Structure 1
Amino acid sequence: MPSKLENLNETKDGARFSMEGDWLGTHITVVTAYDGNYDDWPYHVYLQTGESPRQRLTTRPTTRRGSTKLSAFEQGLLLAVNSLTRAPKSAGTTTTKKEAPAPNARPPFVDMGTQMPSHVGAQALMPLD
C-alpha cells in the first residue's frame, strides 16, 4: 500500500493550474487559479477511480481557498487523501463505542486556510453535471 501520493504532475491551462496524482488507486486532481478580487487561490478537488465518472469533492462555487498556489494544492491534496483514508461505513455492521478524541485533536477535515471544519459548506462526493 503506498504511503504517499504517486505520479504528481502540475499542468497549466490558460489561467488555471492543476496538480494531479494517484493515491490508493484513485486519481486526484486539484484545480486552482488566482482570484484578484480576493487575493487568494480558490480550488476544487476531483477524484476518479478506474473508469468511473470523476467526482467533485468540493462545493461549487468553492469556499476553499489557499493564500498561495502551493497552499491551494497542498490543502486540496490533503482533503482528498483524508477523504480516501476514512474508514467506510458498511451496511449491517454493529456499532462499537467510539474512543474520545485526543484533547487537542483536529477534526478530520480542516480547511487549513480558514480553520473551518469542512462540514460547514462542504458536501460529500457529488457526480459532475
Structure 2
Amino acid sequence: MTANVHEETPAAVSDSAELPAHEVLISDVAAGKVRSLLEQEGRTDLRLRVAVQPGGCSGLIYQLYFDERILDGDAVRDFDGVEVVIDKMSVPYLAGASIDFEDTISKQGFTIDNPNAGGSCACGDSFH
C-alpha cells in the first residue's frame, strides 16, 4: 500500500515520554526519508502520524502525515530520532505492521505491510 505524506495544522504538543508504545515498525530507509523530509521543511518538532480511516473501495485507508500534536490515547515509538505516532483507534488495525519507503523507476512512496489487512482493492489504496 502506498500512502502520501502531508503536513497537518499545528496544535499543542505534550511530552511523549509517558505515552504507551505501539507495535508498528519503520525501516531504516523509511526513517531516513522521514528525517530528510523534516530537514527539508526545517521542522524537527514534527512526528510521523499513521492512522487508519474509513474510505477507499475496500473500506479502510492509511493516512500518513506530519503532526506536532500528541492527542489523548496516542501511542508513540521512537526510531532513532523519528517519532511515529498512532491514535488509539488505529493501534489495533496496525499492530505488527511495517512501514518502508520504495524509490524505484515504477514506484516512489511509503508502503505499509500490514498482517491485519484481510485484502485490498485492485488499486492498492485501501484494505479491509
Same fold per superposition (TM over 0.5):
no
Larger radius of gyration: 1
Q: TM (normalized to structure 2)?
A: 0.26
Bigger RCO of structures 1 and 2 (CA < 8 A, at least 6 apart): 2
Q: TM (normalized to structure 1)?
A: 0.26
